[in-house]
Amino acid sequence: MEQHVYLGRNRLKARYIDKYKFLSKYYDSHEIYVRSTDVNRTLTSAMSNMYGMYGENARPGLDYPNCTDCWPKGFIPIAIHTVPEDTDYTVNADAKNCTRQNDLQKLLQETPEFKQMEKDQQKLFENISSNAGEPIGPLELWKIADAMYIEKLHNLTFPHWLNQKWDGRPLFDVINDTSAIVERWINGLGKPFGRLST
């Protein structure tokens, strides 16, 4: 939350309110609409961003109750809008009921490129699956890549198996690169879809 308050105050407010005057310094519900995925973590992040953007200029009695013992100073209750996670095709890239993405994923699995990746990287996926304790193939690799990213971001120690080399390269890099390719393919980008009419 602290990082999002910082982001709201020192990046979003500094740019869109202070520098470009795109938004007024006081919260106006007609000027900004906040949308988040329907996940506690992202809702809290959105609230923290808004507190950072508008908390310093919040006016007691106008933007929030003028009650020092019953209300946090500067906290404006800004609505954060959501839709159910499984039908959120705008903010949730992995909405389960997105027919288009499901169709692309089925098509992808039939392409020569995808089948070749599965074949070429079979030992890689077996190694990752064995160490992760669950089946990991091209479509599940993002789980490992995301976890590695967060661990690296917070200077956490990787499990020993992630520090090994794979074909002369750090396994971390191989997982990231492979995951990035699959992510593009899943979203209909790249070579496998260049020749398909979908």
Question: pLDDT, tens digit, for every residue of 134-161?
Answer: 999 999 999 999 999 999 999 999 898 9
Quick one: pLDDT at residue 198? Answer: 45
pTM of the model: 0.65
Q: Judge whether 62 lies within some domain.
A: yes
pLDDT at 192: 78
Burial 116-137 (b: 16+ CB within 10 A, else e): ebeeebeebbebbeeebeeebb
Asked whether residue 111 falls in the same domain as residue 81, the answer is no
Residue 198 lies in a domain: no
9 shares a domain with 71: yes
Closest residue by Cα to residue 4 from 24, 38, 34, 25: 34
Measured CA to CA, the distance from residue 41 to residue 39 in angstroms comes to 6
If asked whether residues 83 and 103 sit together in one domain, one would say no
Q: What is the pLDDT of residues 93-118, one digit of tens each?
A: 777 777 887 888 888 999 999 999 99
> What pLDDT is stored for residue 57 in this prediction?
95
Q: What is the pLDDT of residue 102?
A: 82
* 186 and 120 both lie in a single domain: yes
Based on the domain organization, do 55 and 114 belong to the same domain? no
- In this structure, is residue 94 part of a structural domain? no
What angle do the packed helices 99-109 and 112-120 form, to 10 degrees? 60
Residue 93 inside a domain? The answer is no
What residue numbers bound the domain in which 116 lies? 99-193
Domain end (from 87, 116, 148): 87
Number of neighbouring beta carbons within 10 Å of residue 146: 11
Q: Which pLDDT does position 101 carry in this prediction?
A: 78
Same domain, 108 and 189: yes
Task: Please give the pLDDT value at position 110.
Answer: 92
Dmax over CA atoms of the chain, in Å, equals: 66
Last-in-domain residue among 56, 87, 118: 87
Q: Quote the pLDDT of residue 92.
A: 78
The total of structural domains in the chain comes to 2
Query: Is 15 among the domain residues?
Result: yes
Degrees to nearest 5, angle at CA 59 with 23 and 17: 15
Whether 28 and 104 map to the same domain: the answer is no
Q: How far from chain centre, in Å, is Cα 163? A: 25
Q: CA–CA distance from 176 to each of 142, 147, 160, 169, 172 (Å)?
A: 8, 11, 17, 12, 6
Q: N- to C-terminal Cα distance for the chain?
A: 42
Do 55 and 113 lie in one domain? The reply is no
Low-confidence spans in the chain with pLDDT less than 70: 194-198
68 and 121 in a common domain: no
8 inside domain: yes
Domain identity same for 114 and 47? no
**Measuring CA to CA, which residue among 50, 70, 49, 57 is closest to residue 7?**
49
Looking at 63, 87, 111, the residue that finishes a domain is 87
pLDDT for res 196: 53
